Amino acid sequence: MISVKKHFLILLVIAITFSILLLHLFSFTPLSLLEEKLLDVRFLIREGRPTPRDVVILCIDEQSLETIGRWPWPRDILGDIAEGLSQDGAKVVAFDVLFCEQERNDPYFAACIKRAGNVVLPMVFTLGTPEAGTLSVPEFLFSSALPSFKAKSLSPLMAKDVLLPLPELAENAMAVGHINMLPEKDGVLRRYALGIDYGGYFYPSLGLWACAIFKEIPKEKIVLEKDGIKFGDTFIPTDQYGRMVIDYYGKRGVFHQFSCLDLLEGKLPEGTFRNKIVLIGATALGLYDLRVTPLSSNMPGVESHANIISNILERRFLRRVDKWIEAIAIIATGILMILLLPRTGAFLSAGFCLSLLVLYLSVTYYLFAHFTLWLCALHPSLNIIMAYSAVTIYRYASEEREKRKIRAMFSSYVAPRIVEELLKDPSKARLGGHKREITVLFSDIRAFTTFSERSKPEEVVTMLNEYLSSMTGVIFQYEGTLDKFVGDEIVAFWGAPVEQPDHALRAVKCALEMRRSLKDLQKRWKKEGKVPLDNGIGINTGYAIVGNIGAEGKKMDYTVIGDTVNLGARLEGLTRRYEEAPIIISEFTFEKIEGMINTFPLGEERVKGKEKAVKIYGIME
């Protein structure tokens, strides 16, 4: 049967799992950003991969700027670069450089672009919802739009304005593609919009156009579908906005790069660019075309395009696992937590949760590194951590509450060392009733009624407090449990709540020490002119019921009941008859201490409640 505590822990884990599941299903933004940070970690752990030979970068680098001059260069130089690449056999030449302002060499540049016949030029969209009647789309731009977008299967990002290349350049290019790079809220570029909606048409990116020309895929075979883009016989998975997750090949500089200066000066071997996509862009730090990626804080934008194009050419797409599969992972971790946490201790729970966490994170990394699958690492891991933390906190609070209960219960009953032992292992307290062998001690002041009637109340209370304080100190010294005060009577026992194999010996030694302490009090009282008090002590050993007894919720006492206790009380009463024996023990206690304490027989007594006479013994002081 499941205890109330375990039942509560199970409900607690279920509540946490359900909360994490809701946060996952509704894509709680702060957690989504944290999950993307964990994706960055997977990129950092994974070693860089070989880049395809089909994609190279022609760099506008520091060396070229020093020789050719500051940017922007004259357009005739750019025309020579485009024509030179085409003559060397480049299949696609894609400029990651805007040409929005007129320059005197534009006709020459336009002629070079036309002769090359493989140039893709860039444009930049201003995102936002356009106002009705404000869009003016030039005629030449329609050739770079996809008619199949009218199906509206996806909901691409929308633009309200566009920065275009000069018409005479664009009209001679194979296509015009956008180069919008849209980082996430933390500034990291992880996704790339394969196209943008402008005026109701879908305009592909520079990278997508470069791949289409390279693979000779006509516009009609670039189709927007529900979960991505059908690109010839390749399906590119995207999110609802037409963005693909970039699977970066490595840090900055992993792609084959050549300097524009080396091309212009003829230093590169013939055929260097044959059958390749050549991206022309700035890599010089001074040109500030830099992006923050999971692997680099200053990757040139042209390298980001190279990563995207390579993903498409190699059909290597980083796909996010379906949400329902990730939801199953969250539920599975919750079930494992429910099965284990309420049933194991803190140490085993910590080991299990740590192992489960490491195992799950290892699975997410394995799927990422070997199958390019992005399985949510955060929510199941968070479920494990939060479930363990909540259960541990509850257990700690529960144990602290139990310890406070034990401390409040026993601090006035037993010695501090016993209290600390109970706090270390609360199970020893066993507050419920149980049967245990104990030794009980009864002590009473002789003729106390007569004394109290003849003395002033203040004197009675003062002497009684001195006496009880002294006797209590001795009981705690021998680690006994103080049961109660009944007027001038003291009841104590040994053997509970903590087991004490020598409980009988402890009780007898305590009685002897109580008598010695009393004699010291008697000497002082005589000096003060007071009538000294005397006491009698009865001790018995046997089985008794130990536990909390009283009115539930009102007053409860940790005490002992049973025949053993009754006999102890009867023995204390016999000390009035046997004045030579202020400490009387039963034959049951005698059996436990025989040979360890000096005793003398007093005979047999038939006490009330006992059919058979009981042998009794006195203790030599």
Predicted confidence (pLDDT) at residue 499 exceeds the cutoff of 90:
no
Whether the per-residue pLDDT at 67 is higher than 90: the answer is yes
Mean pLDDT on 410-433: 55
Neighbours of 526 (CB within 10 A): 11
| Cα–Cα dist 587/590, whole Å | 5
Positive or negative torsion for Cα 94, 100, 101, 102:
positive
Q: What percent of the chain has pLDDT over 70?
A: 90
Cα(278)–Cα(85) distance, integer angstroms? 8
The SS3 call for residue 51 is coil
4-25 vs 323-340: helix crossing angle, rounded to 10: 170
Q: Could you give the residue range(s) of every CATH 3.30.70.1230 domain in the chain?
A: 422-619
> Cα separation of 467 and 525, whole Å?
11
pLDDT class for 1, splitting at 50, 70, 90?
Answer: very low
- DSSP annotation of 146 reads B
CB 296 within 8 A of CB 75: no
Tell me, letter by letter, the H, E, C secondary structure of 395-423. HHHHHHHHHHHHHHHHCCCCCHHHHHHHH
| Between 451 and 550, residue with greater pLDDT | 451
> Each residue of 188-238: pLDDT tens digit?
999 999 999 998 888 999 999 999 999 999 988 998 888 899 999 999 999
What pLDDT does 405 receive? 63
CATH class of this structure's domain 422-619: alpha beta
Cα gap 459→104, rounded to integer Å: 120
Check pLDDT > 90 for residue 149: no
Q: What is the pTM of this model?
A: 0.69
pLDDT band at residue 432 under the 50/70/90 scheme = low
Residue 551's pLDDT band (boundaries 50, 70, 90)?
low
User: DSSP string of 183-207?
Assistant: --TTS---EEESEEEETTEEEEBHH
Q: Confidence band (pLDDT; 50, 70, 90) for 340?
A: confident
Query: Alpha helices of 200-345 — where are they, by DSSP H?
Result: 206-215, 260-264, 301-313, 323-340
Cβ–Cβ under 8 Å, residues 542 and 588: yes
